[in-house]
Amino acid sequence: MSKKSFRQAINEALRQEMQRDPRVILMGEDIAGGQGGSAGIVDAWGGVLGVTKGLYTEFGPERVFDTPISEASYIGAAVGAAATGLRPVAELMFVDFVGSCLDQIMNQAAKFRYMFGGKARTPLVIRAMYGAGFNAAAQHSQALYPLFTHIPGLKVVVPSSPYEAKGLLIEAIRDDDPVIFLENKVMYDDEEEVPDEPYSIPFGEANLTREGDDVTIVAFGRMVNFANEAADRLEKDGISCTVIDPRTTSPLDSATILECVEDTGRLVIVDESSPRCNMATDVAALVAEQAFDALKAPIRQVVPPHTPVPFATVLEKLYLPDAARIESAVRSVMAYKKTKQDA
């Protein structure tokens, strides 16, 4: 066990799975970098933010494939390779680029098993960066996990810390279904204790990062950290919160969410994806339908406005949910009093 960054945790998961299983291959744009460059150096980048650095050097050109900037062809190739015996991990760089290759994910990978009568397996992982907070603006900052969650046949992972990232990525690589693994680009330098040995974290099992009696906070990805921060501040004022990190949006651990809401009677959902048809609306609908009687206050969603992600720091800061907004939402549900006569 030692302190590792989010970036190192992902790199270690890839390395250990590649050592364990020769069918695991990597492909993506500049995941080594430098091929054909005048410097004659391969592994010049190791991914645009250095996440795959060293893997080409260790595993060579038969396991690590730099691609042209050609998402439709190589994401499709990853799907075809997965259906014919390999276990590819394809890096889509920024998840926003899915616009160039959605067919290969949505109509091919996600559909094969069902459409072919259960006879296909597509053990594929697509890694991509998501999230605002990097001044990367509208085409490099989206949190598109609801888009993938919407598509049956895909599993969707949104890790919230280095420990989570390593265990969930190993699980993703060993899973026999296509998995979308989304990494918040602002978190790559976050550090925590991460075991050196390989371990896996099962999908569809939420993690409770805080346990309390008053309010349940469901948060996704990086938002879990903000939710924890808010919960710690509120604790000092005597408001105790449960914070749920669902880890995967598909499958979603509905049971844990419902149990916690039954206990606390109050729910705040924190989601950095665009607010229409996102995970916040999904969880709110789940609870409204299945735990209505437990609710002591309306469900509150802490989400961005329905706009593209802006560039300017001042606007981007306004756009993203943060600990202060979560804290305020929690206080508002605590303060809620039913005004109508209780029937």
Note the residues at the interface with another protein (CB under 8 A): 23, 25, 62-63, 65, 67-68, 70, 72-86, 88, 103-104, 107-108, 111-121, 152-153, 155, 175-177, 204, 251
Distance CA 54, CA 75 (A): 22
Taking the least distance from each CB to another protein, the nearer of 6 and 65 is: 65
- Cα torsion angle, 256, 257, 259, 264, sign: positive
Taking the least distance from each CB to another protein, the nearer of 205 and 213 is: 205
Taking the least distance from each CB to another protein, the nearer of 75 and 283 is: 75
State the nearest-atom distance from the C-beta of 304 to another protein, in Å. Answer: 29
Amino acid at 36: G
Taking the least distance from each CB to another protein, the nearer of 76 and 162 is: 76
Of the residues 4, 87, 113, 140, which is catalytic? 140
Amino acid at 22: P
Q: Which helix (H) or strand (E) holds 221?
A: none
State the nearest-atom distance from the C-beta of 252 to another protein, in Å. Answer: 11
Distance CA 176, CA 87 (A): 9
State the nearest-atom distance from the C-beta of 179 to another protein, in Å. Answer: 10
Known catalytic membership, residue 150 = no
Distance CA 34, CA 91 (A): 17
Counting every residue written for the chain, the total comes to 343
Amino acid at 115: M
**Helices first, then strands: H and E counts in the chain:** 12, 14
State the nearest-atom distance from the C-beta of 85 to another protein, in Å. Answer: 5
Structure tokens at 329: 């939402």
Amino acid at 154: L
Task: State the Rg of the chain over Cα.
Answer: 21
Catalytic (active-site) positions: 140
